[in-house]
Amino acid sequence: MKKIVLLIVLLLAWRHFYYIPDAPKMGPGAFASGSPSQENISIDPFRFNGYTLTPRASFDVIAKVISVERYYFDYEARVSPVDFVLGWGPMSDESILEQIDISQDGRWYKWTSDSMPITKEEIMQNSSNMHMIPENDAIAEALKRVRNGDLVSISGILVDVKSGSSWKWKTSTSRSDTGSTGEIVFIKSIKRIDPVY
């Protein structure tokens, strides 16, 4: 009996902390046809939740959420509790995405494909793993409601993160620097978009 209760508790905990539901299918077609936009900015570093954030560029994107991963126990989770793999252009087209296996692990985004519906370069230039830092509690709650497959509009700032020690976490500022762990986005607004409109 104790084992059954423990199993139920573990399942409920997994569902609460890690389960991400899927959004309804949109069908074929690129629903996010544009690329992320950014501009260099001159804003002084600022303190946020015990960290120093150094702004690098403004950042805006309309993209499809290809995958979501929540983090609780790594060092970065103290400032960034969730990562999104976002796709735009061909990587927002479900007829292409269904031919690509995508996963997230250890703050990295991985993909494999046997059929290669588009080139490797197109996959890398039209998708990215982004580490989300919510500006406030309302945005943190909005992040929790995002589903795999949602179309979202995100506005914020790309930032480098530093703690009081020597720990540093540097953002990518390019969609083509494949050696980077991705963009670190201090989110000022996020909303889900109804693809019908």
Stretch 145-167: mean pLDDT = 94
* More confident call, 153 vs 166: 153
- Residue 4, classed as helix, strand or coil, is helix
H or E element, residue 193: strand 183-193
Stretch 159-181: mean pLDDT = 84
* More confident call, 160 vs 174: 160
The string of pLDDT tens digits covering residues 104-133 is 988 999 999 999 999 999 999 999 999 999
Rg (CA), the chain: 17
pLDDT bin (cut points 50, 70, 90) of residue 12 is very low
Q: What are the structure tokens assigned to 44, written together?
A: 């002084």
* More confident call, 189 vs 30: 189
164 pLDDT more than 60: yes
Residues with Cβ within 8 Å of 16's Cβ and at least 6 positions away in sequence, in order, are none
11 pLDDT more than 70: no
H/E/C letters for each residue in 105-151?
ECCEEEEECCCCCCCHHHHHHCEEEEEEEECCHHHHHHHHHCCECCE
Q: Which pLDDT score is estimated for 6?
A: 46
Q: Residue 111's domain spans which residues?
A: 2-193
How far is the first Cα of the chain from the last one, in angstroms, to the nearest whole number? 51
Average pLDDT, the chain: 88
Domain count, the chain: 1
Nearest to 108 by CA among 65, 144, 69, 51: 69
Q: What are the structure tokens assigned to 50, written together?
A: 């015990």
Q: Kindly report the CATH number assigned to the domain that includes residue 10.
A: 2.40.50.140
* More confident call, 158 vs 179: 158
14 pLDDT more than 70: no
CA distance 181 to 125: 14
Nearest to 106 by CA among 135, 76, 132: 76
H/E/C letters for each residue in 66-94?
EEEEECCCCHHHHCCCEEEEEECHHHHCH
Q: Which pLDDT score is estimated for 22?
A: 83
The string of pLDDT tens digits covering residues 42-83 is 999 999 999 999 999 999 999 999 999 999 988 899 999 999
Largest CA distance in the chain: 61
Q: Which pLDDT score is estimated for 9?
A: 43
Find residue 130's DSSP bridge partners.
84, 183
Beta strands 183-193 and 127-134, pairing class:
parallel
